[in-house]
Amino acid sequence: MKLWDKGISIDKKIEQFTVGNDREIDIHIAKYDVIASKAHAKMLQKIGILNTIELEQLMDSLKVLENQIEVGEFVIDEQFEDVHSKIEYDLTIAVGEVGKKIHTARSRNDQVLVACHLYYKDNLKQVYNKTQTLFNTLLDLAETHKDKVLPGYTHLQVAMPSSFGLWFSAYAELMIDDVYLLNAAIKTVDQNPLGSAAGYGSSFPIDREFTTQEMGFETLKYNVVAAQMGRGKNERTISIALGSLSNTLARFAMDVCLYMSQNFGFISFPDELTTGSSIMPHKKNPDVFELIRGKCNKIQALQTEMVLITNNLPSGYHRDYQLLKENMIGAFEELKDILDIFNFSIQQVIVKDVDVNDDKYKYLFTVDNINTLVVKGMSFREAYQKIGGEVQNGTYVPDTSKKHTHVGSIHNLCLEQIRAKFPV
């Protein structure tokens, strides 16, 4: 069944190419099409297209479909082009001619658009919630390990002392910037496009304010052409937000992989969270974090894909838009899994004691030594040259009595202030 079927057969090769894998992808937006259909049916009754009995029949049938989707029994068979044709067919089978009325004042274009808006809005909020969970986990870890020394590096060279508290809370605060973008994306998709039909509105006296309230949108996309042009723009905006968060997670995952290696040895994980080698029995590989890194880098590439598919398309609908769904939905599902596994794994991190007396950390406290001389009255430039000269000629000896001065000064991590910054 096709919503645009006029009784003219179409070549099977053309049909297979144009339908693609929409049936599989559309399972993810099925419940949102039902939500939109409920709102649309109520609006049709409000303007006199449906009577009360017809509305009740449709609502009962849509509830059945909603339950099927929720328990995983809803299937889009090969005879259907997409989820929208399947739902209309099921309604027609259930309530006869009344089911055929559901498409009044609606186009498949705005059906897809509103279902995607609802899917994006819901899943952006899920990503937000999972991000907040990981954010709180990191701040808890920062509090727990704030007194643990962690050598800081610049250019991958030993630089200055840091702490695990700073490390964990740094990534937590970076995630706040990512949430700013998530919230911007939510605001972008929280606009009801239903009623734009094929992109030029409907001649029926539809009530778009009513459907906006019914579906829980903050506002509606008033201009029907702008509503249709939102396809592509929505995806570009969302991909920027998902990419930003993925960048933070990928960098954090890289730190984890680096710090687990024997050359650093700052952290480890229980054996059950790592994998082994098929020929090297000693290996404890951070496969989870390597996959997080790779998957997050893949998500960061999504923005380029969304731009290239939609760049310079003129106004109106184009079939190119069909290609946006698959990887956008895939990115959401992937990122939600990444956030869950990251939160699960990082809670089990084993923070090791770092021996700052190890010779490779000999110069870790040169800045503290300079500062000590400055406090005693020497100018900074003179103190810098003195310590620098000692390093250069091999006479530098760390002042062991001051080794923890710097770390002590950074224990004020402002964790509560960071926690309060997380955007609502």
Instruction: State yes or no: pLDDT of 266 exceeds 70.
Output: yes
Residue 396, both tokens: 């530098």
Band of residue 79 on the pLDDT scale cut at 50, 70, 90: confident
Instruction: State yes or no: pLDDT of 407 exceeds 60.
Output: no
Measured on CA atoms in the order 79, 83, 84, 86, is the torsion positive or negative? positive
Instruction: State yes or no: pLDDT of 381 exceeds 90.
Output: yes
Band of residue 222 on the pLDDT scale cut at 50, 70, 90: very high
Please name the residues in contact with 401: beta carbons below 8 A apart, sequence gap of 6 or more. Answer: none
For domain 108-147+162-200+222-351, give the CATH number.
Answer: 1.20.200.10
Residue 387, both tokens: 């310590």
Residue 301, both tokens: 């590439």
pTM metric for this prediction: 0.92
Rounded to whole angstroms, how far apart are CA atoms 274 and 279? 16
N-terminal to C-terminal alpha carbon distance within the chain: 44
Position 81 scores a pLDDT of 81
Band of residue 3 on the pLDDT scale cut at 50, 70, 90: very low
Give the H/E segment covering residue 294. helix 287-300
Long-range pairs for 297-301: beta carbons < 8 A, 24 or more residues apart: 297/246, 297/250, 298/334, 299/242, 299/243, 299/246, 299/331, 299/334, 299/335, 300/243, 300/246, 300/247, 300/250
- Find, among 27, 16, 22, the residue nearest to 82 by Cα: 22
Class of domain 12-101: mainly alpha
Q: Where are the domains of the chain?
A: 12-101, 108-147+162-200+222-351, 359-421
C-alpha distances in Å from residue 68, one per residue of 39, 90, 118, 137? 19, 12, 19, 36
Rounded to whole angstroms, how far apart are CA atoms 373 and 415? 31
Looking at per-residue pLDDT, the higher value among 50 and 14 belongs to 50
- Find, among 105, 110, 103, the residue nearest to 5 by Cα: 103
Position 117 scores a pLDDT of 97
Rounded to whole angstroms, how far apart are CA atoms 108 and 198? 7
Q: What is the mean pLDDT of residues 393-416?
A: 71
Rounded to whole angstroms, how far apart are CA atoms 38 and 91? 12
What tens digit of pLDDT does each residue of 127-160 get? 999 999 999 999 999 999 998 999 999 999 999 9
Instruction: State yes or no: pLDDT of 412 exceeds 90.
Output: no
- Per the CB < 8 A criterion, the answer to whether 295 and 220 are in contact is no
Give φ, ψ of 152 to 5 degrees.
Answer: -90, 150
CA Rg value for the chain: 29
Residue 360, both tokens: 């490779």
